[in-house]
Chains A and B, each alone.
Chain A
């Protein structure tokens, strides 16, 4: 359970360019459900995802993760929570060019100090699950769009997180691939993972597997529908 209480995020505070990205958001996100943050670009979806995903700290307000307050934690601890508890799927695959698929997948686990052989085995198993293991040794720039996204998903899952955060995951996918992606999300849900997606794609928002949709505009919540 992730609770947000009156969360604000202000950029460039005190300067003429001051900009309030989030203006007091209160929200509960339930475990094992698929939640969609819906809104036009600039509505603060991504900023909110960053705060939920422990990537940045709110300027004011509280964030609780399973009852523990995390909003005041320094980066060192936020990172530790993030890398163990959250998996991220970005709008673009964000794979590191020039490296092999396998290395890219293993990347998030390097700082955790897991024995290399065990990590590699896990990475290969993950690639197998998403039918990209044949590409393990190829460089990422040779992958097709769909393959690249699946590799990015395997990377997000490498540390076995409880929460999956996806930012506009279907923005660069065609309809067929978008449906495939939603099937993957359905599997996450079956495995008991919490999924939070920011999207304005109707294919995502109106999908039957989505449990609740939160409408956002100008850094505020406009309404919630389940």
Chain B
């Protein structure tokens, strides 16, 4: 293990978030078992008060997960001088088998927490808590992922060993590490990928606007927005990042959050996360449009989610296009 202030901060964040989710779920399960909206019992009143605690906790978890994704990438970047062959976060994450899985599951738990908050907000619009069971089942569903994330992250950081000279032997460290996951993405043909990105983005945006105006095609939009998230990430690796770095061979999805590139990556990833969470949330809420106590509030809320998602994707595309247009790199 590398005892580095940033590593400690990462682990602290991860343990704290997992603890908070488990804590919230503990009460969530109580609510699942004892909930009776018709009752005016003190128990029911107490449970209703607990819902405030749980949603506050989850709001903090959501924020914490968002920051910790960036902290994690930051840390990987800061540690790269310790590893031979690691030029930036991409290399550090590859030092052992847990680096990339941790990042992926971090993104997943962040999105699940976001989805939970969306569900929670929708539920709060109904006077009879119509989604309460679903909401707390989702919470219980998040728990194993949070625990897995913590285990993976601990394994990753504990498994890091710096390539350091020791006093007894000055052996050389020149093992070249192959980038595994990234390698496939990098080798995708850039021009084709750019076409795929723009065409699918156009479809997604059209579908989103159509849903916003006509109220139809919501499920399709939800699926498209989830897929678009993946396509966008691949596009960043494949053809967007070389334009940002102005280096045809540099495909790193992490360096764009660094100061050298004016932190542009933050904007891009924030927009992507917003777009995906809101887009998936749209689909998740659609089945409940018929719930009597939620109309018409839910319909308005779903459309707002859809337009937020569409707007974020549009902004993402605009920034990416600007970057490409203003880049000195020609491909």
Which A residues are within 8 Å of any B CB, using their own CB?
11-13, 57-60, 71-77
Residues of chain B in range 37-72 having any CB-CB distance to chain A below 8 Å: 37-38, 40-42, 45, 48-49
B15 in the interface (beta carbon within 8 A): no
Overall SS of chain A's interface: loop
- Smallest distance from the beta carbon of A215 to chain B beta carbons, Å? 26
B40 adjacent to A74 (CB under 8 Å) = no
| Chain B residues with a Cβ closer than 8 Å to the other chain, count | 12
Q: Tell me which of B37, B40, B129 has the highest count of chain A C-beta atoms within 10 A of its own C-beta.
A: B40
A58 touches B42 (CB 8 A): no
Question: Are A59 and B127 in contact, with the CB atoms below 8 A?
Answer: no
Residues of B within 8 A of A58 (CB): 40
Q: Which of A13, A57, A73 contacts B127 (CB 8 A)?
A: A73
**Judging by beta carbons under 8 Å apart, are A72 and B37 in contact?**
yes
Give Cα distance in the complex from A190 to B124, angstroms. Answer: 38
**How many angstroms between the C-alpha atoms of A13 and B46 in the bound complex?**
13
CA distance A8 to B132 in the complex (A): 27
Set of chain B residues within 8 Å of A72, measured between Cβ atoms: 37-38, 40, 127-128
Closest CB of chain A to B141's CB: distance in Å? 24
Contact of B41 among A13, A75, A76 (CB under 8 A): A13
Main secondary structure of the interface of B (DSSP, over half): loop
B40, B124, B128, B129: the one within 8 Å of A59 (CB): B40
Within 8 A of A (CB), among B1-54: 37-38, 40-42, 45, 48-49
B127 adjacent to A77 (CB under 8 Å): yes
Closest chain B residue to A8, Cβ basis: B40
Given contacts A72-B37, A74-B48, A75-B48, contact A13 B124 (CB under 8 A): no
A74 proximity list for chain B (CB < 8 A): 37, 48, 127, 129
Using Cβ atoms and an 8 Å threshold, which residues of chain B touch A60? 40
Complex formed: what's the CA distance from A57 to B129 in Å? 16
Complex Cα–Cα for A76 and B128 (A):
11
Alpha-carbon distance A17/B129, docked complex (angstroms): 31
Q: Which residues of A have CB within 8 Å of B49?
A: 75
Beta-carbon nearest neighbor of B49 in chain A: A75
Give the chain B neighbours of A75 by CB distance below 8 A. Answer: 48-49
Whole-angstrom distance between the Cβ of A146 and the nearest chain B Cβ: 38
Contacting pair B40 A13 (CB below 8 A): no
Shortest A7–chain B CB gap in Å is 10
CB distance from B130 to the nearest CB of A (A): 12
